[in-house]
Amino acid sequence: MRQILQNYRTGEVKVSEVPAPALRRGAVLVANRFSLISAGTERMKVETGKMSLLGKARARPDLVKAKGIGATYRRD
């Protein structure tokens, strides 16, 4: 199956072949017939991916305040 992958550090977006997910016990496997990509959301992710850590913190002060600088650093 094909999947869209994005490198959040560089902003690079590519389509790759990946193995189909396996059905696990107690889980449900859903087969999608269609999928949609929001161009605005993806563009924002690309722009955020190109920012420095300080730029990301400035862009989302709410996350820095809620999670703390340590959690914000480890998430990057």
Distance, CA of 7 to CA of 58 (rounded, Å): 21
Q: Is the separation of the CB atoms in 15 and 9 below 8 Å?
A: no
pLDDT at 72: 58
Domain limits of the chain? 2-75
Q: How many Å separate Cα 67 from the centre of its chain?
A: 18
pLDDT in tens, the chain (76 residues): 888 887 767 777 788 999 988 888 999 988 888 877 777 877 777 787 778 878 888 888 887 777 776 765 665 5
Name the amino acid, one letter, at 58: R
pLDDT at 52: 80
pTM of the model: 0.46
